[in-house]
Amino acid sequence: MSADAVTTAQDLVVSGWAVSSPYGLGRDGFTTGLREGRRAVATLDSEQWPVPYDEAGLIPGFDIKAVLGRKGTRSMDRVTAIAATTVGMLLEEYGTGLAADPESTGLVLGTSGSVQSIMDFTRDALTGKAPYLVDPARFPNTVMNCPTGQSAIRHTLKGPNVTVSGGAATGLLALNYASRLLRGGHATTLLAGAAEEFSVQRARLEQVADHGGSAAEPLGEGAALFLLESGAAARDSGRTVLATVLGCRFRAFRSTGRASAVLKSCIDDVLAAAGRGPDDIALIAPGTPPGVFGKEEKVALDGFAAPRLAVRPLIGDTTAAGAAFQLAAVLAESAARPELADRLALVTAVDRDGTVGAALIRLG
Amino acid sequence: MSGATGGTAPRTTPRHRVVITGLGVVTSIGTGVDAFADGLRAGRSGAKPIGAFDTTGFAYSNACEITDFDPGAWLRDMAAEELGRAAQFAVAGSRMAVADAGLTEDDVRARRTLVSVGTTDGESRDLDHLIGLQVAEGEDRLDATVARRVWPGRLSAGIVRELGLEDVETVTVPTACAAGNYAVGSGYDAISSGDVEMALCGGADALCRKTFTGFYRLGTIAPDVCRPFDADRQGILTGEGAGILLMESLESALDRGARIYAEVLGYGLSCDASHPVAPDRDSIARCITAAHRNAGIEARDVDFISAHGTGTKANDVTEVGAIRQVFGDELPRTVSIKSMIGHTMGAASALAAAACSLALREGFIPPTINHRTTDPECAVDCVPNKAVEARLRVVQNNGLAFGGNNAVLMLGHWDANTADNLPADAAAAA
């Protein structure tokens, strides 16, 4: 097992990150909250949110116009605002020089859009004076790439603009999609991550979903985004390498009982590809899905001694953004503990529709 | 290796050439590759009055609907009610693509695979149903069976489950109306980099009230038929279906003696970052140029363009303007199969890629039907109304989407008997 800690020019690195989470906007609250183990899920106002849940992990006081201003927000929906806000924070803190080359800078965002926007639009069609009397300005909100496209418009990102979706594995799928775009020469720098909103309709749908035999757990919302580029590009831009992406691997299970075995294979594969072993892993951020899915993930991770960072119990089920928040938690922990530099972290996901994924990163 | 590496960053690893060896199509002019090819050659129209939802109150309501689809014929593991209509189309397309490639499903299971499905609406048709129930019967009314299948991940996960794949990366790409090209492009990168051996990529969408209503409200639904590039064009007809391409490395295809439809030469992406629905000429031109560079070809190599060609006033003028910006005055023939199958949203560029593959293999250019008088503002030879025979080497497939999301795919002819398959240079460049 080599311990090559030198970042080569071809390595894909994370050189910045930003979060909007139930701890508030920004990395500081997220980092402190997670490290204190403080639960950010709170009681819901049932007047405002008529949903079959008592609690949720909402971004505290998130108000679209207060955060983004009045311009361009009249018809903006919540998930789009969450995405655009987080993209803005990432660029503000880490994006020096990117504005000079907007055509080489893109966004790969994991999201399934807003079921609330889609259903509201059809509700207007069904309840208006005529079936076509809908607000045309809200039509783009009903297409799932709206958060991705709108974020590009607000922040002039003219490179590849891609929306991906895959349940609990979404964040890792977005990371891998972005890695391929960079390796394929389609962009120099990509913002990659995922976003999710809390809404009445999402809550109604999620409540009856498959939770692996358990009751539905509280939902959360937010976004986590990462700046991804080659080690050389980071160096040229004067950005610090926060982590190096060593690999992502995915598999599928048809029967739930296979989930642990296929996830274990993914972990073994990313370790083997990186020339590393289980003892090199210093940190694990599992998805901790409910019911049998969580049990399967736990079994797959049984042989690994590294401490676990459990994000979901603290911020709620952020579905599309879940795995991105797990990666953000790893970076938060790494920033707070410099001794983790050059050690490995593992992020895992088990999705109810049959996807498992593992991402291996080197810290520092 | 020559210098044309495509894009802005140098490629760092050896690349595999990527070919298309299987096509699975579900369309309003035919299901299955033979029926689709016949329909394209004959210039068949899928336009008809909408039956998918009640259109009372609309002055006109044609669409390119599929009226003969039987999900039970394609699903084995899952009950039809576990998948929405778009996912059912995707599964059907995948099964067809595997069989069309001369593979068994066991063959696919034995390889590391990517399944990537583009979509605009996912299962919005089901969301229409669910909100309809709330409106009619009360806020608390929920059809749990339908509610469980609405998430877009199911479009790709349904394929994986039905084919029993295990060593697979499963991703849905909801990048709106260019999503099919995004999915095929990601498959090209995944195979060419050696990440996977095989890919099932494309797009799927089902007709829904939500999207028909939105386009109707924008004044972009044609009252009768879709007439791309015509002086009297009045807009789109919404459509539905799925197009799934089975892609593999050239070595893999040659090893097993597979029939090759076409080689994927490369693709380009760009984002307008200007307006959510109005297309941007410069950005589309930039996307076309990026695709040519990524494929290692020049504009003059392109034998025909399968345009996004929605048949709206704005799209056709802007798109042809962008093409002109790249190609100058010598425009290749530029057609729109949306005249036949309507705007199938996330499936559109995938079905167009399937049409391009057939065109390259069989040597014809599909027509733009319903055409009367070409608009001088978007003057192209759109191969009006009748397919033409043509020996083709390079074909360009445009996909443009809401959010200013552009994706252009380049496909090349493959002929095992000739040494001068065009992308020799492109492959060397890569």
Count H helices and E strands in chain B, helices first: 14, 15
Q: Which amino acid is at A163?
A: T
* pLDDT at position B12 over 60: no
pLDDT cut 70: percent of chain A above it: 97
Taken in order of first residue, the domains within chain B and their CATH numbers are 18-423 (3.40.47.10)
Confidence at residue A4, expressed as pLDDT on a 0 to 100 scale: 39
Q: Judge: A180–B195 Cβ closer than 8 Å, yes or no.
A: yes
Question: What's the whole-number mean pLDDT along residues A282-288?
Answer: 98
Q: Which residue in chain B has the smallest CA separation from A230?
A: B9
User: What is the mean pLDDT of the segment spanning B291-305?
Assistant: 98
Residue of B nearest to A254 (CA): B161
Closest by CA to B247, choosing from B17, B12, B84, is B17
Q: Where, residue-wise, is CATH 3.40.47.10 in chain A?
A: 12-237, 243-363
Q: Answer for the pair A163, B175: CB distance below 8 angstroms, yes or no.
A: yes
Give pLDDT, residue B277: 87
Q: Tell me which chain A residues have a C-beta less than 8 angstroms from the C-beta of B7.
A: 184-187
- Rounded CA separation B243/B24 (Å): 6
Question: Could you tell me which residues are beta bridge partners of residue A317?
Answer: A219
d(CA A7, CA A315) in angstroms, rounded, equals 33
B132 in contact with chain A, both atoms CB, cutoff 8 A: yes
Residue A7 has pLDDT above 50, yes or no: no
Q: What is the mean pLDDT of residues B405-425?
A: 76
The answer to whether residue B61 neighbours chain A at the CB level (below 8 Å) is no
Q: Share the mean pLDDT of chain B.
A: 94
Q: Is the pLDDT of residue B6 over 50?
A: no
Chain centroid, CA B300 distance in Å:
24
**pLDDT exceeds 80 at position B425:** no
According to CATH, the superfamily of the domain at A12-237 is Thiolase/Chalcone synthase (3.40.47.10)
Nearest to B87 by CA among B41, B118, B43: B118
pLDDT band at B111 (very low <50, low <70, confident <90, very high): very high
Distance CA B306, CA B288 (A): 12
pLDDT exceeds 60 at position B10: no
Distance from CA of B140 to the nearest CA of A (A): 9
Distance, CA of B124 to CA of B152 (rounded, Å): 9
Q: Does pLDDT of B138 surpass 90?
A: yes
| Chain A residues touching residue B176 (CB < 8 angstroms) | 143-145, 149, 163
| B82, B247, B300, B318: CA torsion to nearest 10 | 10
How sure is the predictor about A46, in pLDDT bands with cuts at 50, 70 and 90?
Answer: very high
- CB-CB under 8 Å, B186 with A177: yes
With 50 as the cut, is the pLDDT of residue A216 above it?
Answer: yes
Burial class (CB in 10 A: 0-12, 13-18, 19+), A291: middle
Mean local confidence (pLDDT), B369-376: 98
pLDDT of residue B418: 58
The stretch B99-121 carries a mean pLDDT of 98
Residue B430 pLDDT grade (very low, low, confident, very high; cuts 50, 70, 90):
very low
* pLDDT tens, position by position, A76-133: 999 999 999 999 999 999 999 999 999 999 999 999 999 999 999 999 999 999 999 9
Average pLDDT over residues A342-359: 98
Residue B421's pLDDT band (cuts 50, 70, 90): low
pLDDT > 70: what percent of chain B? 93
Alpha helices in chain A (DSSP H): 27-36, 64-68, 78-94, 115-127, 146-155, 170-183, 200-207, 231-237, 259-273, 291-300, 312-315, 322-336
**Chain B closest-CA separation from residue A220 CA (Å):** 17
B294 CB neighbours in chain A (<8 A) are 184-186
Q: What angle in degrees, to the nearest 10, is found between the helix axes of B209-217 and A115-127?
A: 70
Query: What are A65-77's pLDDT values in tens digits?
Result: 999 999 999 999 9
Contact map slice: B 331-390 vs A, CB within 8 A? none
Using alpha carbons, list the distances in angstroms from residue B45 to B210, B230, B334.
Answer: 23, 16, 19
Q: Across residues B186-210, what is the average pLDDT? A: 98
Task: Kindly determine whether residue B170 and residue A354, on different chains, have CB atoms separated by under 8 Å.
Answer: yes
pLDDT class for B415, splitting at 50, 70, 90?
confident
Listed residue (A342, A106, A145, A77) closest to A225, CA to CA: A106
Q: Is A61 exposed, middle or buried (0-12, 13-18, 19+ CB in 10 A)?
A: exposed
CATH 3.40.47.10 fits A243-363, yes or no: yes
Q: Tell me which residue has tokens 């076409």.
A: B262
Cβ–Cβ of A355/B170 closer than 8 Å?
yes
- Written as six digits, the tokens of B303 are 């034998």
- Under the banding of pLDDT at 50, 70 and 90, the label for residue B276 is confident
Mean pLDDT score of chain A: 96
What is the spatial distance between Cα B193 and Cα A179, in angstroms, rounded to a whole number? 11
For the segment B99-109, the average pLDDT, to the nearest whole number, is 98
Query: Does the pLDDT at position B11 exceed 80?
Result: no
Q: How far is CA B175 from CA A186, A196, A202, B240, B248, in A?
A: 16, 16, 20, 16, 23
Query: 3-class SS at B279?
Result: coil
pLDDT band at B426 (very low <50, low <70, confident <90, very high): very low
Question: Taking residues B70-87, what's their average pLDDT?
Answer: 97
- Of the candidates B64, B177, B201, B226, the residue annotated as catalytic is B177
Three-state DSSP class for B271?
A: strand
Choosing among B11, B109, B139, B171, which should be mutated to test the A contact, i.e. which has the most A CBs within 10 A?
B171
